[in-house]
Amino acid sequence: MGDQTSRHPTLRGSEADPSPFLLQHRLQRCSAACLMAKWRPQWLGWTSAWLLIATLLAVAAVHPAMAQQPCLKLVFNRYCLGGDVNAMAQQSAPAMRQDEGDRVALIYYEGRERIYVLAWRGRVYKVLRAYRIASQLHYEELYRLLRDKYGDGEDRSSFPASARTTGLKQIAIRRGEGQAAHFWQASEGWHIELSWTREMGLALAYIADELDQAQTAAVQSGY
pLDDT tens digits for range 73-109: 999 999 999 999 999 999 999 999 999 999 999 999 9
User: Where along the chain do its domains lie?
Assistant: 17-62, 70-221
Asked if the model's pLDDT at residue 131 lies above 90, the reply is: yes
Q: Which of 64, 124, 70, 121 is nearest to 92 (CA)?
A: 124
pTM summary value: 0.69
- Summarised one tens digit per residue, pLDDT across range 21-43 is 333 333 334 333 343 344 344 43
What single string gives the DSSP state of each residue in 162-193? Answer: T--SHHHHHHHHHHTS-BEEEEEE-TTSEEEE
